[in-house]
Amino acid sequence: MATSPFAKSTSNPGQGTIHLTLLPPATPTYSILNYAYPLKLLPSTPHILPAPETGPSEDPSTPSQLTHVPLLFLLSYGGGLLPPDSLSITLTLDALTRLTITTQGFTKIFPSPQSAPLATATQNLQVSLGHHSGLLIAPDPTQPFDNSRYIQKQVFELADTASLGVLDWVSEGRRARGEKWGCRDCRLRCEVWRVGGSEQSKRTLLLRDNILLSSPEPHILARRMDNLGLFGTLILVGPLFTALGNFFVKEFDLLPRIGGRDWGDRPPTTSSTGSLVTEDAGKVEEQHRVTKWRRERVKEEKADGVLWTAARVRGCVVVKFGAKEVEGGRQWLGAMWKEEGTVGRDFGEGGLMCVR
Residue 66: pLDDT over 70: yes
Q: How would you classify the pairing of strands 107-109 and 316-323?
A: unpaired
**What Rg value do the Cα atoms of the chain yield, rounded?**
23
Burial of 189 (0-12, 13-18, 19+ CB in 10 A): middle
Write down the pLDDT at residue 58.
43
Write down the pLDDT at residue 11.
72
Task: Write out pLDDT tens, residues 239-287.
Answer: 999 999 999 999 999 988 765 555 444 544 444 555 445 557 778 888 8
H helices of 29-121, in order, are none
Write down the pLDDT at residue 26.
84
Write down the pLDDT at residue 60.
43
Higher pLDDT, 279 or 29: 29
**% pLDDT > 90, the chain:** 69
Q: Is the dihedral of CA 288, 298, 315, 235 positive or negative?
A: negative
Write down the pLDDT at residue 241.
97
Q: What is the mean pLDDT of the chain?
A: 87
**% pLDDT > 70, the chain:** 86
Distance of alpha carbon 140 from its chain centroid, rounded?
A: 9
Confidence grade of residue 5 (pLDDT, cut at 50, 70, 90): confident
Over range 77-93, report the average pLDDT.
94
Distance CA 172, CA 103 (A): 19
Write down the pLDDT at residue 56.
43
Q: In the chain, helix, strand, coil percent, each to 5?
A: 25, 40, 40
Asked if the peptide bond before residue 111 counts as cis, ω within 30 degrees of 0, the response is: no
Write down the pLDDT at residue 262.
54
Task: Write out pLDDT tens, residues 138-187.
Answer: 999 999 999 999 999 999 999 999 999 999 999 999 999 999 999 999 99
Burial of 242 (0-12, 13-18, 19+ CB in 10 A): middle
Write down the pLDDT at residue 219.
78
Strand order in the sheet with 86-93: 27-35, 15-23, 86-93, 121-129, 149-158, 185-195, 203-214
